Homo-oligomer: A and B are copies of this chain.
Amino acid sequence: MPDLGTVVRDIAEEMRLAPDRGTVASYIPQLAKVDASHFGICVIDADGQYHTGGDADVPFSIQSVSKVFTLTMALGTEGDQLWKRVGREPSGNAFNSIVQLERENGIPRNPFINAGAIVVSDVILGGHRPSEAIGAILTFVRDLADDETIIIDPAVAKSETATGYRNIALANYMRSFGNLRHEPELTLGVYFHQCAIAMTCRQLATATQFLAHDGLNPASGRRVVSTERARRIGALMLTCGHYDGSGDFAFHVGIPGKSGVGGGIIAVVPGKASIAVWSPGLNAVGNSQLGALALERLTRAMNWSVFAA
């Protein structure tokens, strides 16, 4: 077994020099400004040791990576009732597709596409004011990451709100089917702000640890979710975590992960590691190009796979 620290540093160096870095997301002006040359990685092993490379301490917009944390919250308050309003199947469509909603009566296919995450935000909102719900999400993520300095980037949040026409369309469309309980602008207020949370790879890997350890935060010893729920969230990440590239990610990387259009990806090797990578350039289906490549290199070098005997 190779040395994990060396592997992580080698990958960071390879990715620093990689010529083909994908395309930085342009649909939100604030994201389009991010420098494509960034690459960061943080791996926390089973002993709680941190192994980092590149820009592991540079904060970035976590975007859809937040969907894992809000799903965890919503399952906490709503339990399996949530699944009446969101499915658990891969979508077979782009992350912001609206076609499927028309065909399936406003029930999004899973909580990791935009429509599904908006329903999850609606659950978290739960009759409170958007600012309260946003505060609760931030508190939850800070707790998981054990870092009170994590903030929501106001420029990104404003940018999302001003240009989020597709998400506004998705929310109103679901509302027309009765699958949002609040006025769309309130629910979207929550959704846009959760996407604008800024975190580093180090913070993200920390926050994701509970999913690598059957729901237990190994640092604090605190249980975040039940064993069963942790595994089920892992199953959703594997089947649905990379939009219409989820099958390909499972095939090449072989572990549960969740990507965001900010270029971040979190992933877990159950019992072995919690991982966060970041590179802003995206591939054709909207996942971090170098992030996915780095994870493939990492799991191959370490012989990590949930499908390993």
Across the interface, do A245 and B305 meet the contact criterion of CB distance under 8 Å? Answer: no
A187 to chain B, nearest CB (A): 12
Across the interface, do A89 and B248 meet the contact criterion of CB distance under 8 Å? Answer: yes
Across the interface, do A236 and B251 meet the contact criterion of CB distance under 8 Å? Answer: yes
A100, closest chain B residue (CB): B92
Across the interface, do A271 and B308 meet the contact criterion of CB distance under 8 Å? Answer: yes
Interface check A214, CB cutoff 8 A = yes
Candidates B176, B238, B248, B309; contact of A238 at CB < 8 Å: B238
Interface check A244, CB cutoff 8 A = yes
Cα–Cα distance between A90 and B88 once the two chains are bound (Å) = 12
Interface stretch, picked from A48-56, A127-135, A139-147, A161-169, is: A161-169
Contacts of A308 in B (CB 8 A): 214, 227, 231, 270-271
A274 to chain B, nearest CB (A): 11
Cα–Cα distance between A88 and B232 once the two chains are bound (Å) = 22
Candidates B100, B169, B247; contact of A87 at CB < 8 Å: B247
Candidates B102, B240, B270; contact of A309 at CB < 8 Å: B270
Across the interface, do A234 and B307 meet the contact criterion of CB distance under 8 Å? Answer: yes
A29 to chain B, nearest CB (A): 14
Query: Assuming A102-B98, A270-B307, A308-B271, is B90 touching A247 (CB within 8 A)?
Result: yes
Across the interface, do B271 and A309 meet the contact criterion of CB distance under 8 Å? Answer: yes
Across the interface, do A172 and B176 meet the contact criterion of CB distance under 8 Å? Answer: no
Interface check A30, CB cutoff 8 A = no
Cα–Cα distance between A305 and B247 once the two chains are bound (Å) = 19
Across the interface, do B306 and A306 meet the contact criterion of CB distance under 8 Å? Answer: yes
Contacts of A184 in B (CB 8 A): 165, 168
User: Can you spell out 7 A-B residue pairs with CB atoms less than 8 angstroms apart?
Assistant: A90-B247, A98-B169, A227-B308, A230-B309, A236-B250, A238-B238, A240-B247
